[in-house]
Structure 1
Amino acid sequence: MSAGRDVFILSNTTDELGGVTVWTRQMARLFQSNGHRVHIIGIHEAEPQRALPEPPDCPVTALYPAHPPTPWAPRTLRDHCDLAARRREAARAAAKRQAVGRLTNLFRTARPGAVLIVTQVWAMEWVREADTSGMPVVGMSHESYAYSRACHRYRWIRNNYASVDRWLVLTQEDADTWIGDGMNNVGFVPNALPRLPEVPSPRTEQVVASIGRFSDQKGIDLLLETWAQVAPRRPGWRLRLYGAGEDEQDLRAQCTRLGLDGSVQWMGRTGDVPGALAGSSVFVQSSRGEGFPLALMEAMASGVPCAAFDCAPGVREIVRDGEDGLLAPAGDTEALADRLLRLTGNPRMRDGMGERARVNVQRFAEPEVLGRWEELFALLER
């Protein structure tokens, strides 16, 4: 290993609540523990209500104080005559040149052997225009091939990541799929298990927990539909929803329509995930799409058996169906309700799966994942 490497980690934002920010801060800590110098860069700062409160223990730079404006181009004769819009676009372009210049200046501070890790493809819009000469660029995606393929990020990935030195996904299955789709610079490194609590959950509370952002991707609406099938048959059990997000008002209204207000608890954001899991006996994940979900690993590390939609290779890589958790076909609320009924109705199954989950998830321990990154750094330096 080349000690004392400079590692730049570039994301859409520096501090937005979510899996990418959690991953960034975790890896910054791990890289620093191995003697590297880390600088976290975001295209912009998150809105205050969506930001993680505690700053990381390394330099952090945001290129903009808020989300930059979207580029504008005239399409009609009337657009060409819109002087106000043309002035706004000129100001946007000038601000972008300034941001790119800041990025280049940061990269020029790097010592030989530096590496740039771009965690989200949108940020490549600035990286492409910056001077990265002499510094390998590693692009990443924290979602599955199928989820990228279904939205605009597929085109962005094809346009922006084909030319980077290495483009990383989270599982071998997704890497193989991207290779089959014509990307020839693909590798994979899984997410690292954030922590292993000293004491696992006792699994004595009649609580099913969900932890995640209240957005379409996380499928909380599907979870409420699922819980409507579970709650009448498990009258003593509660569903605790930890999180916040843009869909909360609609989700609360859905909860009331389904008659679930008596069994669903809205817990808000939590800064104490181990504490939330220690008070739970089952964990549920209802996402429409995922990458390599940290919340699922954290639940397993706490000895809490999981029921989840099999929505991505990362999910079935983490959960061994029938051994340390139960998977349901993606989007199938009846099947997910069946898995929850099995776990909530069988303490022996819960305990057995929870204990196996705590053991099995340790294959993603931080030293193992950090070692894979060090191997990649060494390879890129050749």
Structure 2
Amino acid sequence: MRFTIERDHLVSNVSDVMKAVSSRTTIPILTGIKIVASDEGVTLTGSDSDISIECFIPSEENDKQIVEISKMGSIVLQARFFSDIVKKLPGDQVEVEVFDSLTTRIRSGSSEFNLNGLDPEEYPRLPEVEAQEGFQIQADLLKNIIRQTVFAVSTSETRPVLTGVNWKLEDGELNCTATDSHRLALRTVKVEPNSNELSFSNVVIPGKSLSELSKIIDDNEELVDITVTENQILFKSNHILFFSRLLDGNYPDTSRLIPNDNKTNVTVSAKELLQAIDRASVLAREGRNNVVKLASIEDSTLEISSNSPEIGKVIEQVQSHSFDGEELKISFSAKYMMDALRSMDSNEVTISFTGAMRPFLIKPIEGAAIMQLILPVRTY
């Protein structure tokens, strides 16, 4: 195998596939990046068996030559060394040549490296996917869905299914739910299936996979194709294929957690409330649970406070834009509340309370496409 490639294209694509490579894998070949040179261009693959990322660099793009293939072939190179090398090469062009012994020479400008390669035949094959079954989402919308849900997944492996985000497809609507049993994030979007027969209606995608996917898809209006096989989901964007395994197990029915009635509704500036809770949490962080208290006082004002006996206390006041219902006194995790408020793409939010020890809901004032639920903490 032998090809010459523009260094910038190589660096950015190696950086993308590196997000799927783990140094802790028990399969030695997966510590490497697979490189395949064909007539059409160069394909790079990285995998840790949970996530697999394949990036294709075409020979030409927009009438500009990116890769020049002298001899087709394939090789697997140690990912960590190959990634470090290509980032530090001095020239604009990189020549990669593989010899019969699998030794690989990497040249650029006045620099030359020789790496010992691994047999590409030993590299696991990626799943075959029928592209017509699935649906499409704009890349920027997909990034938003991930940002507004993935923070609420569980970090505990005691219930592995809660470390993922539940995607449920019903009547042309995709409901994305994440919960760690103390809070819940829900995002709903309309989707158009590619065909009448969709290959899935209910899957759980690992939160880690979605976080890595969000880093490599562009923030634009291009469409991402989403397809599900038996135990994998595939996201296809531009020249990138992103595979993730799905989590086994039944995701809990979270609809019964969402209160149907409420005793108090408050509309408030999301930014003002976030900043007040952030300041109050400076002292609360020293406590065990990072808990702040929220209470209603006269003139529709909200009082946010925290008290750390060894350090001191803080009191913040935020003027609500509207206050309807009973007086309010509730305690909650400052971190959970700040995560929820940051996920809102809205200047104003409505918070609905049903009691001091009942879950409360946070929604943007326009539309119900996103909803956050938080369980309070008993302190009063």
Alignment TM-score, normalising by the size of structure 2: 0.23
Where is the helix percentage greater, Structure 1 or Structure 2? Answer: 1
Greater RCO, 1 or 2 (C-alpha within 8 Å, sep 6+): 1
Where is the strand percentage greater, Structure 1 or Structure 2? Answer: 2
Higher-Rg structure is: 2
